[in-house]
Amino acid sequence: MGTHGILLQLRLLLDEAITYKTKKESLRIAREGVRSSREKKLAGELEYFKGQIDLINGKFVSAIEHFDAAIRFNPLDGAAYNDRALCMVEIGIIDEALPYFDKGIEVEPDYATIYHNKGWLLNNIGRYTEALRCFKKALELEPDRAVSYESIAAALVNMRDWKGALEAYNRVLELLKPGYSRTIKLQIKQRIKEIEKRL
């Protein structure tokens, strides 16, 4: 695996850790990305992983600065646009975040996480049908993406489609790997129980 391959693997591991594992594990991977990027003298990657550390630690404004720097070094870094948009949402800049998701999709159309996160935002602002399209596109790219099924379930709950939501939550349980947070599994099981009461 080449230099960029190792860093890509770290990016994928970090995405998974942020979604399903602990803050400690996420920070460990992000710090490894910083170390590797410095060692290989890859300034764009260094900025990206520094941004990740700030994002994980809730320092959203400085994270945006790092992601902007990463984008300047590599304008085709869809993940940097994605994570910049997430930071914007965290500090309350909602409407302006959507174009950053769109730019990330434009430059990296095969990266499922961007579609997923755009869908997450659309779902949270009440645009459920558009959100579902984004989650389904994420699943076209990564069919076993548990978090996208979880988000589909959340959108279907918002649309009062209890049967569809139940199916999606059950699919999440099938896809969760053994090493994932036990808390996540318990939360999904609780949501399933709540939906079953409505059926």
Report the pLDDT value the prediction gives residue 129, as an integer from 0 to 100: 97
> How many C-beta neighbours within 10 Å does residue 9 have?
14
Report the pLDDT value the prediction gives residue 181, as an integer from 0 to 100: 72
Give me the percent of the chain exceeding a pLDDT of 90: 87
- Which ranges in the chain are annotated with CATH 1.25.40.10? 1-109, 136-199
Residue-wise pLDDT tens digits, 14-29: 998 998 888 999 999 9
Report the pLDDT value the prediction gives residue 128, as an integer from 0 to 100: 98
Report the pLDDT value the prediction gives residue 2, as an integer from 0 to 100: 40
Q: Quick one: tokens of 12?
A: 């994928």
Asked whether the predicted pLDDT for residue 1 surpasses 70, the reply is no
Domain 1-109: assigned CATH number: 1.25.40.10
Query: Radius of gyration of the chain from Cα atoms?
Result: 17
Residue-wise pLDDT tens digits, 87-135: 999 999 999 999 999 999 999 999 999 999 999 999 999 999 999 999 9
Domain 136-199: assigned CATH number: 1.25.40.10
- DSSP labels for 42-92? -HHHHHHHHHHHHHHTT-HHHHHHHHHHHHHH-TT-HHHHHHHHHHHHHTT
Residue-wise pLDDT tens digits, 127-141: 999 999 999 999 999
- The residues, ordered by sequence, that sit 6+ positions from 36 with a Cβ below 8 Å of its Cβ are 6, 7, 10, 45
